[in-house]
Amino acid sequence: MWKDFLSELRSKELVLSMCLFAFLVLIIFSFAFGTGLKSFKGIIPGILWVAFIFSGLLGLNRSFGVERDKGTLPGLLLCPVSPWEIFLAKMIGTLIFTVIMEIFTLLVFTILYNQNFLPFLLPLGLVILLGTLGFSIIGTIFSAMSSTTSTRDVMLSILVFPIYVPVIIAAVKATGLILDGTSIQTVYAWLKILVAFDLVFLLLAYLTFGFIMEE
């Protein structure tokens, strides 16, 4: 089941393009807002998450898109594994690639905007991981759906964004609070929403993914 991961890792194409895209998003933000803003601290979480989500979508499109393009999906389905395992493999693959991209984005952000994330690394990492997990879960479900359509890329965004709203809110808020240096107790409420979202959608994926994989 790790063949996806291996083949992607060998080509490195996807991760590279995701990173590059995130880089560009950051640069565009600096042109859009200017770096001399007084309230710049307030928009950091926004910039970060917009970069994460847009670049993440890039990766999602590929997740099942490649299988459909090369016609390997039937082969995958013939393997003696359950749809749930296919889902997990795809989801974890997306998660890993997106996290790599996010680490890169944080590094670039540190350099470009002169922000130090080091003191907040642990809580920030937790929030990013939970947010990205939710993103990978719904993204993988919808990527499997949208990859069959002709308007794949647009369809994926239209499906993912409305469902992803609670995660965006919670993740952006939590990131902002962490960067403000507030205690973990205030962030806790947001973390709960992130965890709830992840669990609920993991369960839904478990229950419904078989239906999506039916040809």
Partner 1 sequence: MSASKRVFKMTLEIITFLAMFAALYAIFLYAPVEKTMGLVQKIFYIHLPAAFLAFLGFFITFIASLLYLYKRDLKWDAAAFCSAEIGVIFCTIVLITGPIWAKPIWNVWWTWDPRLTTTLILWFVYIAYLMLRSVVKEHQRANFSAVFGIIGFVNVPITFLAIRLWRSIHPVLISSRGINISTPMKHTLALTFLAFCLLFFCLLKSRIRLEKTRMDTEMVSALVEEKFYSN
Q: Which residues inside 45-74 make contact with partner 1, applying CB under 8 A?
A: none
Rounded CA gap, 155 and 7, in Å?
Answer: 26
Nearest to 120 by CA among 175, 57, 157: 175
Q: Does 79 bind partner 1 (CB under 8 A)?
A: no
- Total of chain residues touching partner 1, rule CB under 8 A: 33
Q: Using the minimum distance from each CB to partner 1, give the nearer residue, 77 or 100.
A: 77
Within residues 134-163, the interface with partner 1 by CB under 8 A covers 138, 141-142, 145, 148-151, 155, 158-159, 161-163
Minimum CB–partner distance for residue 33 and partner 1 (Å):
21
Token pair belonging to 213: 């994989």
Residues 162-191: x where in contact with partner 1 by CB under 8 A, - otherwise, as a string? xx-xxx-xx--x---------------xx-
Q: Closest Cα partner for 7 from 15, 91, 71?
A: 15
DSSP alpha helices (H): ranges in 34-115?
40-70, 73-78, 83-113
Q: Helix 121-146 vs helix 152-179: angle between axes, to the nearest 10 degrees?
A: 170
Q: How far is the CB of 169 from partner 1 (least distance, A)?
A: 5
| C-alpha–C-alpha distance, residues 54 and 32, integer Å | 17
> What is the footprint of partner 1 within residues 81-100 (CB under 8 A)?
none
Distance between start and end Cα atoms, the chain: 20
Report the interface residues with partner 1, using CB under 8 A.
Answer: 138, 141-142, 145, 148-151, 155, 158-159, 161-163, 165-167, 169-170, 173, 189-190, 193, 196-197, 200-201, 204, 208, 211-212, 214-215
